[in-house]
Amino acid sequence: MTTGAAGTGIAELIAAEDILLFVNAAITATGQREFRSGAAEQRLSLAFLHEYARVNYRPLYAAVLALDINDHNAALIIERLLCTADEAGPEQKRREGELIAARLALLPPPRVYRLFRALRAAGVNNRRSRAIQREWLAARPDLGHDAVKYRAGLKSAVRHIHLPLTAGDSAELGDFLFRPGRRARYGHPLLDAHRRARHERAALKELPFTVAEGFAAGHGVSRRELLERAAPRMTRLERLRTRGEGGAPGADLGVMPLTRLALYVLSLPFGERAERRAELTGALRRAARRAAGPHAGTWGRVSAVLDDSYSSSGSGVKRRRPLAVALGAHYLLEALAGGYRGHWVSGERAAADPLLVRPRGASPLGTRILDALEDSPERLVIVSDGWDNAPPGLAGEVLRIWRTRLDPERRTSVVHLNPVHDAEGLDVRRLAPSVPTAGIRDAEDLAALVEIAQFAEGRTGLAELQSYLDRRVARLIGGGARRKRAQEKESER
């Protein structure tokens, strides 16, 4: 039986492993179908991990909001913290409140309004919860815009927190939401445009695109005409969603985030990719340089193994997502490295022109890892779902021998980034115990996730992980970076 300091050390290592297990899931899993598991399995796995982390490590569970987890899991953490407020003491509640407010500022408004509806359905209506919702609504740049674009969500939130909309400018917002026929006109231009759109065709050009879509059919407005009218007010995502339709404005590649741009490139036919090679490659490299920031060119010699096997096609709801992460990582590593070489699993053809990469074939990861190690890199980065099947297990054996016999001094750092949550294993699938593995959803988070992966080697304990989380929490709550990211996200919607 282990006791004393050694026992404490083991307990801390287990706690660190548990939190990293949850972090990997919170980054990669969205409760949707993946290539090798269904949506029900994903949701069950995720629900268990949330409950386990919240019950056993509540302060760390809340601190995970400061990491680059996906929006789905951020909303789940907030919901569970607010639903179980009686489990936390006064100081912990204060800390959680700061984290929740900071993270809510980064979430897309539709997801926040869905979260508020979930809290209402769960009967969570304490003073703390109402204060958090009021603070978020007060920080919205234009509640009139929200009333038009997210009417049901705003209406539900206002009712739930008993927000008075009876005086001043808020009175007409209250009339719009709850007494729509009371006013002959509204002072707020969007509210009045929505009123006029019921009987006035010209008002459609004043409305947000998704709202105008709902009125277009009733006025006999063709799709082409609607897109031409709405072009000046369409968001980045709306431009991307309607690309290729007659009258639709072109997507602005110069401002797209790296992974979203990679998804766009992979959605194009091969012929169009080839025709636009210079444009698309230039856009990907510019996005990668923006993501690299001050770290550009500082990583020394880097080799990468990038998975473009058939499983990188993802699923019907996450089409080509794993492949898009690998493609984005290719260009980001190129920007980060002093010298770089990428090795695609499918072979030299993809390496010659990554723009034409497509999901195909098996996963000879072991062979490609050998090729990458022959480059004598300072860093080896593997981006793969961890399924090594040509032959099975070769990648793990190659990495074991490399680490234990050929490079015990760790001259080459090796990290595995996995974009797919393994519902059965409750974690991202690993290649070898000696290689740190971290989940990844967006290629632009690669540098931060390589930093997280160091904790997965089993050589650092809970104190180091806690210190890292504290730094991320301080950065999130600090405000400057948070406001900038929130503004960038808002401009896309």
Tens digit of each residue's pLDDT (9 = 90 or more) over 87-130: 999 999 999 999 999 999 999 999 999 999 999 999 998 889 99
Comparing 424 with 2, which gets the higher pLDDT? 424
| Residue 210 shares a structural domain with residue 340 | no
Does the residue 493 lie in any domain? no
- Same-domain pairing of 323 and 382: yes
What are 38-61's pLDDT values in tens digits?
A: 999 999 999 999 999 999 999 999
- pTM comes to 0.90
226 and 296 inside one domain: no
Q: Which domain holds residue 435?
A: 258-460
Q: Is residue 466 part of a domain?
A: no
36 plus 120 within the same structural domain? yes
Verify that 225 and 323 share a domain, yes or no. Answer: no
Segment among 50-64, 159-173, 434-448 with least mean pLDDT: 159-173
Looking at the structure, do residues 51 and 72 belong to the same domain, yes or no? yes
- pLDDT confidence of residue 49: 97
How confident is the model over 384-421, as pLDDT tens digits? 999 998 899 999 999 999 989 998 898 999 999 999 99
462 confidence band (pLDDT: 50, 70, 90): confident
Residue 133 domain flag: yes
Cα–Cα distance for residue pair 369/361, rounded to 1 Å: 17
Please report whether residue 1 resides in a domain.
Answer: no
Q: Are 279 and 414 members of one domain? A: yes
Tokens of 90: 């006064």
Same domain, 86 and 228: no
CATH of the domain at 356: 3.40.50
**Is residue 165 located within the same domain as residue 298?**
no
Residue 490: pLDDT over 60: no
Q: Whole-angstrom Cα distance, residue 305 to residue 295?
A: 21
Q: Which range among 4-8, 78-82, 269-273, 353-357 shows the weakest confidence by mean pLDDT? A: 4-8
Residue 477 lies in a domain: no
Q: Which among 442, 441, 467, 440 is positioned nearest to 455, based on CA atoms?
A: 467
137 and 67, same structural domain? Answer: yes
pLDDT score recorded for residue 7: 47
Does position 209 have pLDDT exceeding 50, yes or no? yes
Tokens 């290689």 sit on residue: 435
Q: Is residue 268 part of a domain?
A: yes
pLDDT at 489 exceeding the cut of 60: no
C-alpha dihedral sign at 9, 10, 14, 17:
positive
- pLDDT over 90 (residue 240): no
Residue that finishes a domain, picked among 165, 180, 199: 199
**Domain count across the chain:** 3
Residues 187 and 209: their CA atoms lie apart, in Å, by: 21
Cβ neighbours of residue 393 under 8 Å, at least 6 residues apart? Answer: 366
Provide the pLDDT for residue 445: 94
Provide the percentage of residues in the chain whose pLDDT is more than 90: 71
**Residues 277 and 415 reside in one and the same domain:** yes
Which of 218, 235, 251 is a domain's end point?
A: 251
Average pLDDT over residues 55-84: 96
State residue 350 phi and psi, 5-degree precision: -65, -35
CB atoms closer than 10 angstroms to residue 286: 18
Between CA 108 and CA 72 the distance in angstroms is: 10
pLDDT at 228: 85
The answer on pLDDT for 484 being more than 70 is no
Could you tell me if 266 and 230 lie in one domain?
no
- Residues 169/143, Cβ–Cβ less than 8 Å: no
Residue 457 confidence class, pLDDT cut points 50, 70, 90: low
pLDDT digits (tens, 9 = 90+) for 244-289: 676 556 667 888 899 999 999 999 999 999 999 999 999 999 999 9
Phi-psi category of 247—alpha, beta or left, where left has phi over 0 and alpha has psi -120 to 50?
left
DSSP H or E segment with residue 418? strand 413-418
Question: Considering the chain, what is the average pLDDT of its residues?
Answer: 89
pLDDT at residue 239 greater than cutoff 60: yes
pLDDT tens digits for 9-37?
778 878 888 999 999 999 999 999 999 99
Rounded (10°) angle between helices 365-373 and 394-401: 30
User: Using 50, 70 and 90 to split pLDDT, how confident is the model at 351?
Assistant: low
Per-residue model confidence (pLDDT) at position 389? 87
List the one residue out of 184, 179, 235, 228 whose CA is nearest residue 208. Answer: 235
Residue 469 placed within a domain: no
Q: How far apart are CA 33 and CA 30, in angstroms?
A: 9
Between 67 and 238, where is the model more confident? 67
**Within a domain: residue 472?**
no
Q: What's the gap between Cα 39 and its chain centre?
A: 18
**pLDDT value at 198 more than 80:** yes
